[in-house]
Structure 1
């Protein structure tokens, strides 16, 4: 496909690339802010929305993380449906819908009644809100990943790919920072009473800003694709089963490591070392800032040296170092910060290139749906369950098994990376 086949008569990557990056990144940051606010405030949600067990204080927290996982299992549905929308009607149409859906579901979380006030209705409302958030996030990844990589100029797909996690990290960083600020400024009673709701209402307002910015984005689906026969909902799975399985293998270790290091580690430190909640959140916030700065560097390096070396750096690094790193968390602020930052360096080998690798696997006609379903399914199975599995190991009095779980899965993904053909210097089908 030649560059002139893109929208109108001008290739997508020649049309103000900074504006394309802004449209994808700002909206994506808002999406992930809304998604991650739940994780950072899980302990407060557990106290207010779930009934306390008289015998075990971990039961409400386990219930909260179970709802976290339930939201993840809607992500494959969102990836499939909104990915198909992106392939049939355009990337911009799909990610405009996803951000409005995320804003509404975030507001619903913020308005969830307490168990004391509404009984069983409280967790039901929370589950519905998380299901809608999962639908939105699954569709967001499919549409924005495709949009970003298709917007890139020659030799810049890795760099543009890295902004998927730059914006994700900014959203997560903002959620962590807002949570840390509220915890430090409000008393425990205020946080439990109304403080935990503030980030979700704020997220709903930010979604409107993201929607307005995204309206200026240029469509990246080529003119040839716009006039071709529209793909069916399951065409990517039916005609590209090997590529679908490849996405699962690429993603499995990466998503587990990602959610462990960027979301669960503060809770892991609290549960296993008794670390102060505010200190754990602060360490998470600082390490996320460091991680965000690393992403463009990783993307640029992959454009020069290839995707495969970056993925192997991540996979083998975590396979060898997950256990010693997690054992090094001893309850001090410095130990948690150093462990998180060390993991972030390794993790960049996956996060900076995953969007590019995924987009390079599938042809343009089914690219968004082809990425969205297998990626989101794998994230649901391994990433979404990471906090629950880690907390469950603690409940079973075997917290030492969780680091090995991370290491083994990263080793499995490394075997996939070894057999992966290098795609960094090949032309992307448009």
Structure 2
């Protein structure tokens, strides 16, 4: 395989020295800095969806004669958080492109910790009235801003840290860490559900998980301090070796909407690449336990256990998918994922019953197919843009698409169930994956191309 691009250690860094002034961190250290912080971010983000069934009735007013109203309200707030993600992708992407990836990664993890702490301290509707859901919405908006910027910054950081022929492998750790964070959230929720009664979970147990997330954010911040900047000239605004005036350095900084103006085709491609993948991802990794509960009467505690086991399996698959894409290319995996879901989403979701094994098999089967997208999404997105506007170029269209289709998946699925058309949701998933399949057919193969600096 031909060489793809210089490693982060080989590229100039605008005179920046690694912390401590010694040798620059190894690629393993770079992976750890991105992955541990990212896992903490996604633990905080996903804890909400796993615990919504417990705190919904505490924070939202009950609907007259309809027990699904508080749950629908909590999922609506879940979706609202997603609509801050494009703003986060745009703003934090601009920070990453102007001031470096590390600066953006520091800001995002601080925001996520603050949002998680605010969720933990949210009062109940009985004690604070309408102020309770308002505080929860505010916390979710802060978290949405954070996670939108996190994907943009960590995606570019991981891909730019990779050595020749390893971009797919490094990119896979975006979802390894994302899945580990989700796994930690699912496992924490399952453990709390096993140790506490349902009444205790509803009263105070769910708060423990969010308080833990706020503390973990401090750990992630500490680990990220050891990362090496991957954007050339991040401290000066220009590439190393170039002598420019202050005015020229300021002019060299990309504008907020520069990627959209100068790379509209790539921006639209990211929307098409992401649409089917994000809907399938949030359906299979986040909403499926709730889907089983409301459509098949599946036990709450057992659904969390199934989710935890399935996510552990999913995390193990990601590096395998990334390495495979470095050998055979990105397109075969993307086409396999999208066509597989277009054909199998409906029969798989119809196989979900109240039996433990049925949900486990359905979730694991879908996650095998999903790996064709998740393991390489970061690499595919990063390979479309030059370094100068890479983070913002990825962040806004990706986060907007996730907000439209991924963030609304739990709400749309629950709404279909409430309106008496639960069987339409699997067809919705299949149709959107078919749209992405058509987009993948038009993509150039980028696995062996040099990463544009």
1:136 lines up with 2:146 in the alignment: yes
Task: Quote the Cα distance in structure 2 between the aligned partners of 1:409 and 1:11.
Answer: 46
Asked if structure 2 preserves the Cα contact closer than 8 Å seen for 1:5 and 1:223, the reply is: no
Match of 2:84?
A: 74
Q: Deviations over 1:337-362 (max 9, x none)?
A: 00000000000000000000000001
Residue ranges of structure 2 left out of the alignment (5+ in a row): 239-248
Name which of 382, 402, 425 aligns with 2:425: 402
Name which of 364, 368, 381 aligns with 1:345: 368
Match of 1:289?
A: 312
Deviates more, 1:2-11 or 1:374-383: 2-11
Q: Deviations over 1:9-60 (max 9, x none)?
A: 8999984000000000000000000000000001112110001112211111
Match of 1:226?
A: 237
Q: Deviations over 1:310-335 (max 9, x none)?
A: 10010000000000000000111100
Map of 1:187-226 to 2, 5 A cutoff?
A: 187-223=197-233, 226=237
Asked if structure 1 preserves the Cα contact closer than 8 Å seen for 2:6 and 2:164, the reply is: no
Q: 1:100 to 1:10 in 2, by over 3 A?
A: closer
Task: Quote the Cα distance in structure 2 between the aligned partners of 1:11 and 1:423.
Answer: 32
Q: What secondary structure, in the 3-state scheme, does the structure 2 residue paired with 1:223 have?
A: coil
Map of 1:29-108 to 2, 5 A cutoff?
A: 29-108=39-118
Match of 2:131?
A: 121
1:158 lines up with 2:181 in the alignment: no
Task: Quote the Cα distance in structure 2 between the aligned partners of 1:168 and 1:143.
Answer: 14
Match of 1:314?
A: 337
Task: Quote the Cα distance in structure 1 between the aligned partners of 2:17 and 2:412.
Answer: 46
Asked if structure 1 preserves the Cα contact closer than 8 Å seen for 2:25 and 2:226, the reply is: no
Name which of 424, 436, 440 aligns with 1:413: 436
Match of 2:26?
A: 16
What is the CA-CA distance between 1:5 and the residue it aligns to?
4.1
Name which of 377, 399, 402 aligns with 1:376: 399
Task: Quote the Cα distance in structure 2 between the aligned partners of 1:130 and 1:2.
Answer: 39
Q: Deviations over 1:202-245 (max 9, x none)?
A: 00000000000001100000138931600011100111111100
What is the CA-CA distance between 1:264 and the residue it aligns to?
0.2
Name which of 344, 355, 363 aligns with 1:332: 355
Asked if structure 1 preserves the Cα contact closer than 8 Å seen for 2:125 and 2:133, the reply is: yes
1:364 lines up with 2:374 in the alignment: no
Q: 1:111 to 1:9 in 2, by over 3 A?
A: closer
Task: Quote the Cα distance in structure 1 between the aligned partners of 2:382 and 2:355.
Answer: 41
Q: 1:91 to 1:10 in 2, by over 3 A?
A: closer
Asked if structure 2 preserves the Cα contact closer than 8 Å seen for 1:255 and 1:383, the reply is: yes
Task: Quote the Cα distance in structure 1 between the aligned partners of 2:14 and 2:118.
Answer: 40
Asked if structure 2 preserves the Cα contact closer than 8 Å seen for 1:5 and 1:11, the reply is: no
Asked if structure 2 preserves the Cα contact closer than 8 Å seen for 1:83 and 1:143, the reply is: yes
Name which of 295, 299, 305 aligns with 2:328: 305
Asked if structure 1 preserves the Cα contact closer than 8 Å seen for 2:179 and 2:314, the reply is: yes
Q: What secondary structure, in the 3-state scheme, does the structure 1 residue paired with 2:231 have?
A: coil
Q: 1:2 to 1:64 in 2, by over 3 A?
A: closer
Structure with a larger share of its residues in helix? 1
Asked if structure 2 preserves the Cα contact closer than 8 Å seen for 1:46 and 1:61, the reply is: yes
Q: What secondary structure, in the 3-state scheme, does the structure 2 residue paired with 1:41 have?
A: helix
CA-based RMSD: 1.6
Q: 1:153 to 1:10 in 2, by over 3 A?
A: farther
Q: Deviations over 1:271-293 (max 9, x none)?
A: 00101001111001000000000
Match of 2:243?
A: none
Asked if structure 2 preserves the Cα contact closer than 8 Å seen for 1:149 and 1:160, the reply is: yes
Deviates more, 1:220-229 or 1:209-218: 220-229
Asked if structure 2 preserves the Cα contact closer than 8 Å seen for 1:308 and 1:422, the reply is: yes
Task: Quote the Cα distance in structure 1 between the aligned partners of 2:12 and 2:25.
Answer: 11
